[in-house]
Amino acid sequence: MSNGDRPSLADQRDLQTVYQPAEDSKLLADTAVSYADDGDWVLDAGTGSGYIAHRFREATAARVVGSDINPTACRQAADRGVPVVRADQLTPFRERAFDVVAFNPPYLPTEPDTEWNDWMERALSGGESGREVIEPFLDDLRRVLTPDGDAFLLVSSLTGIDAVRDYARANGLTTMLAAEEPQPYERLVVLHLRPGGSDR
């Protein structure tokens, strides 16, 4: 797909400063929630409005935490009853803290000269490759997962699914396709990531 065929970052923006749940959020939540057992520690990284964390809290007896760097997102998630930490990705969390991690990252490839320096940009733009937020997440994921933990990452065909999987494998993670859904301009995929093992 050429740049002219895909939706621009501007088309995805509105006056809000917090990303609100859409098809990608629902697909990720629908896929990940069933993996949380009672008493598990779950992190919804980049929680935004707190939708995915709230889905975990409604469907399970897991202990759920959200994190987001956007202070307005933290307030929205807290208003949903989600315990939330203002954090840049996984940085503040201790080793092996979580049994399940879910992340719907900014993944739209965006040329530098078309970006805005605001919170909505940070919620949507994955930089030129679409992977500039995803790769640091994958660099640190094994550290915060328990040895038999599960992580779920939403990616798009615009982002380069194979490139994301290669990067995850280079960080010692198994990658499995857990769910996918066609959209008008892209294919959304949920990758199931685990420490070590072999791909499926």
Cα(66)–Cα(87) distance, integer angstroms: 9
- As a whole number of Å, the end-to-end CA separation of the chain is 26
* Confidence category of residue 117, pLDDT binned at 50, 70, 90: low
How many other C-beta atoms can be found within 10 angstroms of the C-beta atom of residue 191? 25
CB 171 within 8 A of CB 157: no
pTM: 0.84
Query: CA–CA separation, 82 vs 122, rounded Å?
Result: 21
Alpha carbon distance 183, 108 (integer Å): 14
- The rounded percent of the chain whose pLDDT value lies above 90 is 64
Alpha helical stretches, state H, 60-133: 71-79, 119-124
| pLDDT above 90 for 135 | yes
Asked if residues 198 and 168 have their Cβ atoms less than 8 Å apart, the reply is no
User: Is a pLDDT exceeding 50 seen at residue 7?
Assistant: no
What DSSP state is assigned to residue 108?
Answer: B
Looking at residue 118, its pLDDT comes to 53
pLDDT value of position 89: 85
State mean pLDDT over 20-44: 93
Question: Which helix H or strand E contains 85, and what residues bound it?
Answer: strand 84-86
Q: Which residues pair with 44 in a beta bridge?
A: 66, 102
> Which residue, among 81, 18, 73, has the nearest Cα to 53 in the 3D structure?
81
Reported as type and span, the H/E element at residue 154 is strand 145-156
The length of the chain, given as a count of residues: 200
Q: What is the pLDDT of residue 108?
A: 66
How far apart (Å, rounded) are the C-alpha atoms in residues 128 and 110?
5
Mean pLDDT of 130-157: 94
What mean pLDDT is reported for the chain? 85
The strand pair at 145-156 and 98-103 is best described as: parallel
Mean pLDDT of 8-29: 67
Pairing, β 41-45 against β 98-103:
parallel
**pLDDT computed for residue 132 by the predictor:** 85
Residue 103 has pLDDT above 60, yes or no: yes
Q: pLDDT value at position 185?
A: 87
Arithmetic mean of pLDDT, 103-129: 63
Mean pLDDT confidence for 162-173: 97
